[in-house]
Structure 1
């Protein structure tokens, strides 16, 4: 994400959305009541003596007061709905509703309703500005291949497909069976992704390791090759859990999410009185400046009823130098946190809880 302008006196943030991860962070910047400006398409209405008619769709720059925010991870769009507060006079749309559908390559201005930029938002800006390291991962099994992308906001599996090695009476070796079909697949996947990613990782089983190494060398591709117990989709998830590959995932969200949630579960099993569950209990702890760390499911930040309350809690936690961990709802850690009520916290000191 490129930050084009920040004016703390007016609560203004202007950003350029550059990569898919930016959409996630941008969706967290916005709150109900903020005013955002962007270019959009709007249909003209033509007034005639017989009544009004729909005209052509034109590109216009307008501002709306935010009422609803939707983040669509798979379509790579953010939809923001609200009443139009500023628009060209000839459109006659002030006061009507409009929805921005924002994607990569678009610039947006946000005027915060509070006319201030909270510590939580400032921290998000720092994270969003950091260079986005994207890793293409190709996991090769003996019957299945999976292609995924590792990025700072998690793991996104792009495709999983089966394949069949060449088997016939003339096939005399493992290499003859697998090499021709795997070479075509590897070449196609890497050619499509090599220019868009900072690193390419190929994972495969011990049985196919030498064959894959030879193919990568023949193609002249710079890639890291890692041996796993099982390829395909299982291979992708296996490497995210391996402690010997910890450094590889320093910037990858899922690895640390799982560690943080596991720490909560361990503490709960020991009946640690500095672990708090439930949004009401955590809200109370945040008011006392008692929260050392909060772990929450990202769904809470896009819940129309809870979003404002959650953002206020996070801002309070930043004021007391607490740490915030946002967990993907689609991750293994997210499934575990869902069972704990979507939100948990570790306190600096124990406080009385309501049950």
Structure 2
């Protein structure tokens, strides 16, 4: 994410989203009532055309501004759609007051005019910093099946399974090593699709991870230098979740959003398990704590930030000097927080 223009007096920031992560961040930064301006395309009725297809109109591109009413982000299609009432634009082309949907696109500027709360500015800065970092990839490898977990801002993108055509009967299959190398190369080819790798975390319950690391050392030494090995009790999704929960990712990359979120939710669950008076959860309890100025850190699931009651708690917390952490609903820690009412807090003192 890049900031192209900023006018603090008008509450205007123009940004350029550069990735799917950036679109996801914008889907939570932009709120109903915000004023959005961007270059858009709309089919305009051409009443002067004599063509038989004139009833379909002509596509024209122009700048247009809407007052947002609905925000929808679709991770699998990579689309962020903003729907609202048109408030400004070329009046000869579009009727003001009608509805329009803007498809926010990667590498296309968008202007956001709004009241910028601290948590929204923090999230924007977080997206900008994250865009400068290379990704971490988890390789959950077993004898003949591997899954990759690409660590994104919103959670884990799972890739796989990658299946190896390897027989377990070493003496019968003479070309076993060749098949193993083909399997390892399949995995590596998938990894190489992601440029500027930061860390490769190779995990699994057996010794296959060691064999794969040796393969990287022989054939891809630059990747091997960025790799670490970690034993887990399971492979696949379960193994990936295991390393997220054990703090390994956070120790390797202090900026990995999912690792920080998972760590905080785990701490919360531990405190709840001890019947600690230093935490609280659910809307009513958290609201009381916020009003008393007792919240040190507030945890909120991202799909609740548009709720007016939750927004009030967030604003009160920040006004009282507390910190707000938005937790993605796309990973396990977010789902655990949802089960507690989607909001919780670490307290400065028991209440």
TM-score range (shorter-chain normalised) is 0.7 to 0.9
Other-structure match for 2:191? 190
Instruction: Give yes or no for the alignment of 1:310 onto 2:310.
Output: yes
Q: Secondary structure at the match of 1:68?
A: strand
In the alignment, the residues of structure 2 paired with residue 336 and residue 222 of structure 1 have an alpha-carbon distance, to the nearest angstrom, of 38
Matches within 5 A, 1:151-166: 151-166=152-167
Gaps of 5+ in 1: none
Q: Secondary structure at the match of 1:89?
A: coil
Instruction: Give yes or no for the alignment of 1:250 onto 2:251.
Output: no
Q: Is the 8 A contact 2:294 2:347 kept in 1?
A: yes
Q: Is the 8 A contact 1:81 1:97 kept in 2?
A: yes
Other-structure match for 2:236? 232
Instruction: Give yes or no for the alignment of 1:64 onto 2:66.
Output: yes
Q: Is the 8 A contact 1:154 1:328 kept in 2?
A: yes
Instruction: Give yes or no for the alignment of 1:290 onto 2:291.
Output: no
In the alignment, the residues of structure 1 paired with residue 168 and residue 178 of structure 2 have an alpha-carbon distance, to the nearest angstrom, of 6
Which range is displaced more, 121-130 or 217-226? 217-226
Change (3 A) 1:150 1:320: same
Q: Is the 8 A contact 1:137 1:200 kept in 2?
A: yes
Q: Is the 8 A contact 2:134 2:196 kept in 1?
A: no
Q: Choose from 80, 83, 108 the match for 1:81.
A: 83
Q: Is the 8 A contact 1:142 1:231 kept in 2?
A: no
Cα offset for 1:170? 4.0
Matches within 5 A, 1:160-175: 160-166=161-167, 170-171=172-173
Other-structure match for 2:142? 141
Change (3 A) 1:280 1:245: closer
Give CA deviations for 1:256-290 in whole Å, capped at 9, x if unaligned. Answer: 32332233333334443443322233234323322
Cα offset for 1:206? 4.0
Instruction: Give yes or no for the alignment of 1:299 onto 2:303.
Output: yes
Q: Secondary structure at the match of 2:59?
A: strand
In the alignment, the residues of structure 1 paired with residue 43 and residue 19 of structure 2 have an alpha-carbon distance, to the nearest angstrom, of 29
Q: Secondary structure at the match of 2:76?
A: coil
Cα offset for 1:12? 0.6
In the alignment, the residues of structure 1 paired with residue 133 and residue 231 of structure 2 have an alpha-carbon distance, to the nearest angstrom, of 26
Q: Is the 8 A contact 1:187 1:219 kept in 2?
A: no
Change (3 A) 1:45 1:163: same
Q: Is the 8 A contact 1:65 1:84 kept in 2?
A: yes
Change (3 A) 1:225 1:264: closer
The TM-score with structure 1 as length reference comes to: 0.85
- Alignment RMSD (CA, Å): 2.8
In the alignment, the residues of structure 1 paired with residue 244 and residue 27 of structure 2 have an alpha-carbon distance, to the nearest angstrom, of 26
Gaps of 5+ in 2: none
Cα offset for 1:221? 4.2
Give CA deviations for 1:157-213 in whole Å, capped at 9, x if unaligned. Answer: 13324333146764259x6275233233134213322x2533434334542244313
Q: Choose from 262, 265, 271 the match for 2:266.
A: 262
Q: Secondary structure at the match of 1:126?
A: helix
In the alignment, the residues of structure 2 paired with residue 219 and residue 235 of structure 1 have an alpha-carbon distance, to the nearest angstrom, of 26
Other-structure match for 1:23? 23
In the alignment, the residues of structure 2 paired with residue 92 and residue 209 of structure 1 have an alpha-carbon distance, to the nearest angstrom, of 60
Q: Secondary structure at the match of 1:179?
A: helix
Q: Is the 8 A contact 2:247 2:263 kept in 1?
A: no
Q: Secondary structure at the match of 2:182?
A: helix
